[in-house]
Chain A
Amino acid sequence: MVRLIASIVGAAFVLVLGIALFGSVAGVITDPVAPTAESVAHKHPKELELASNGVFGKFDRRQLQRGFQVYKEVCAACHSLRLVSFRDLQKIGYSEPEVKAIASQWVIEQPSINPETGEAATRKNIPSDRFPSPFANEVAARAANNNALPPDLSLITKAREEGTAYVHSLLTGYTTQPAALLKEFPDIKTPEGLHYNPYFANLNIAMPPPLTSDGQVTYADGTKPTIDQMSTDVSAFLTWTAEPNLEARHAAGFASIIFILIFCGLAWGAYQNVWRDVKH
């Protein structure tokens, strides 16, 4: 009885799937999927070699500091870094007084209240503060950016596929829309106020090219600030903001794996020892 009911149920599912399959195949034949501009022109992020890549990866602190400088001087005007605190900068090699100075001189102040009146006010940042957002809220951010919302950058390299390479590719990937593409898809001309970038999912990004010329920032350590260098540095910095414990994780990983390997060896020996006289 069970088998009879089961075969009826099974036949029903197979029948319905068969009908669905027929529909799908017919759909492919009668209405083949046309290529879209995205499927033709969207590019995969370029490879980016960073010290933090790979299982042996460690951060290059001087690079992180340069990247922080790029964030501070270029990105911070629009993009928040709300999950990172000023005190965290000590982990990329700034001293405590330097962090205090960076915090207190930060252009955007921390939201606060006037202690006399209770009205909204701002105060200087202190090391225990998170980085303040450049806009009070999402509406303000959109209003100031042509209705586009600049995403928070704290986790951006983990919130995108191959995020570190993606950030670098996006920053250096601005170009004019290829004429051939426009010829193939006449109605995808980049709208006014958007910018063509083949690394962006839908090819047209609201962010204007942020890194426009070599020497846009001046590095204290003498590194030549080419666009590629600045973009690489800020990608490295944003890799750190997204995964600040990467080095501790790798170190703990090696210790654990070596320990477990030795344990496996001993456990194998014990297993063989216990079973030595029993065929199995």
Chain B
Amino acid sequence: MSFPWAKQYEPKLPLTRWLDERLPVPRLVYNSLGGGYPVPRNLNYFWNFGVLAGAALAIQIITGIVLAMHYAANGTVAFDSVESIMRDVNAGWFLRYAHANGASMFFIVVYTHIFRGLYYGSYKAPREMVWLLGVVIFLLMMATAFMGYVLPWGQMSFWGAQVITGFFSAIPLVGDTIRIWLLGGFAPDNAALNRFFSLHYLLPFVIAGVIILHIWALHIPGSNNPTGVDVKGEQDTVPFHPYYTAKDGFGLGIFLLIFASLLFFFPNYLGHPDNYIPANPLSTPAHIVPEWYFWPFYAILRAFTADFILPAKLWGVLAMFGSILLLFFLPWLDSSPVRSMNYRPKARIAFWVLVADIAILGYCGGAPATATYVILSQICAAYYFAHFLIILPIISRSERPRPLPNSITEAVLANHGGTSPAKTALATSTTSPAPHAAH
């Protein structure tokens, strides 16, 4: 699809030939995840995480459909129905722990996938649409995860629903009306639980749909690569199958190893004890926190403690949503023509500061809201916004990138030969049939 040298699907059996003429699904699969998709040959392990995210979604959908066969979305029985799954349903404990920890694995994988995109500039032209769709998927995932966490109807479920719907009450004038509409009542109860269940079941399929668009958009320009340099010719690529299916198979094995360790030996490590207490609308737990994957955003929310023109509560909510929505503008905020941070010394430093910054925000978000953590959150939240909205746009104009390799193949050979890409640029350029684009 993306390159002229992509191999064409050739049905071998009469049946596949018959099918190909009528409904070319095998051809579609071949062109998107098979031998017909040429992929840069130099992808590192960070490129495994797209396929792993797909696997994580599949695990969540399968275990989720099965759990829904036993779960009852009603405040009086929801908690007990989950416990009945844990105690009485055949292999129920396995399915429920797989679903709960599968959500964490999904976020681990997706966060790595996002940071991969940030580091290697995968959001830049011509892949902006891939990035935008990715942010849409991320938002849908967060909504799905939040609503899923409400379903067991424990204390954290209930108070999570209370706090998160409380965000909407920060909207001036209509906030309370919107919150009551969202909940279908004045506090989380059956109405909220039922609609959350309905949407929690629906949204993963919406995510799957957007993933198809995400992959479609990816296949127009083809995959980015660690050098960020465009594919120049056939020697720069290998077919997705068998090269990357083999590599993804190994990656999937490692993913499952970590997943199984968590699921079978530390199934409650990432959960919170309070969610094993049934929801009680009359008593808030001493220390309420969302699931770990929301901690950085929760820290940003809590960092806004001062009124300034707008009330602090509204600032917090705006900033929390803004911290994600700004990702939609990233392709245009970072105007550097160089994609990979490997060749952008200043932006690379800023990137690693951002990683540390988000890690600290995450730690603060999970910790109690004491003065120390609030101060730390305020500093880190300030850097977060400054990084994307101020620092990165400035760096992208002022920085002098390091010389890029002339082609992917050249970079690969330079790595193997132990010489720098700059030195081998001229020496190996004669072997490359494609003309050098100016970068």
Contact = CB atoms under 8 A, between A and B. Distances in A.
B308 A257 contact: no
Contacts of B257: 257, 260-261, 264
Contact of B260 (A248, A260, A275): A260
A58 to B, nearest CB: 14
B249 A270 contact: yes
A250 B265 contact: yes
Given A17-B378, A17-B381, A264-B254, A10 B264 contact: no
A264 B250 contact: yes
Contacts of A11: 389-390
Contact of A6 (B276, B312, B319, B393): B393
A16 interface: yes
A180 interface: no
A20 B305 contact: yes
A159 B304 contact: no
Contact of B267 (A7, A28, A249): A249
A220 interface: no
Contacts of B265: 55, 250, 253
A215 to B, nearest CB: 33
B93 A245 contact: yes
B345 interface: no
A27 interface: yes
B155 to A, nearest CB: 9
B250 A13 contact: no
Contacts of B250: 264, 267-268, 270-271
B315 interface: yes
Looking at A22, A24, A28, which has the most chain B CB atoms within 10 Å of its CB?
A24
B286 interface: yes
B24 interface: no
Contact of A249 (B94, B242, B286, B312): B94
A280 interface: yes
Q: Which of B277, B286, B412 has the most CB of A within 10 A?
A: B277
Question: Taking each of B93, B332, B388, which has the highest tally of chain A beta carbons within 10 Å of its own beta carbon?
Answer: B93
A154 B274 CA distance: 14
A19 B308 contact: yes
Interface residues of A, number: 60
Interface in B220-251: 238, 242-243, 246-247, 249-250
Interface in B106-122: none
B306 to A, nearest CB: 4
Q: Which of B97, B252, B264, B332 has the most CB atoms of chain A within a 10 A radius of its CB?
A: B264
B87 interface: yes
B375 A267 contact: no
A13 B86 contact: no
Contacts of B274: 159
A182 interface: no
A21 B302 CA distance: 12
Given A25-B375, A271-B246, A274-B243, A257 B80 contact: no
A6 B86 contact: no
A21 B379 CA distance: 7
A260 B322 CA distance: 41
Nearest to A162: B273
B335 interface: yes
Given A16-B304, A17-B378, A160-B273, A257 B261 contact: yes
Contacts of A16: 304, 306, 308, 315
Given A9-B322, A13-B385, A245-B93, A252 B315 contact: no
A83 B83 CA distance: 7
Contact of A264 (B238, B253, B304): B253
A112 interface: no
Interface string A240-252: 0010110011101
A263 interface: yes
Nearest to B258: A260
Q: Is the interface of B mostly helix, strand, loop or mixed?
A: helix
B358 interface: no
A14 B385 contact: yes
A45 to B, nearest CB: 12
B256 interface: yes
Contacts of B333: 2-3, 6
Contacts of B413: 279
Contact of B312 (A20, A151, A252, A280): A20
Interface centre among A13, A33, A201, A280 (most CB of B within 10 A): A13
Interface in B316-342: 319, 322, 326, 329, 332-333, 335
Given A17-B304, A271-B246, A159 B277 contact: yes
A28 B378 CA distance: 14
Contact of B286 (A21, A33, A201, A248): A201
A275 B243 contact: yes
B41 A278 contact: yes
A18 to B, nearest CB: 7
Contact of A19 (B242, B306, B335): B306
Given A3-B393, A7-B389, A10-B389, A278 B253 contact: no
A252 B246 CA distance: 27
Contacts of B94: 249, 252
Contacts of B242: 274
Nearest to A158: B276
Interface in A75-105: 83, 88
Contact of A155 (B276, B303, B329, B390): B276
Contacts of A17: 303-304, 378, 381-382, 385
B386 interface: yes
A274 B306 contact: no
B105 to A, nearest CB: 14
Contact of A252 (B83, B254, B264, B304): B264
B274 to A, nearest CB: 7
B162 interface: no
A3 B94 CA distance: 49
Contact of B375 (A21, A163, A254): A21
Question: When A and B form their complex, which 4 residue pairs have the shortest distance between CB atoms, in order from nearest?
Answer: A253-B264, A10-B389, A264-B253, A159-B276
Given A21-B382, A257-B264, 5 more contacts: A3-B393, A16-B306, A250-B264, A264-B253, A271-B247
9 contacts: A2-B332, A2-B333, A24-B374, A24-B375, A83-B83, A155-B83, A261-B257, A267-B246, A279-B413
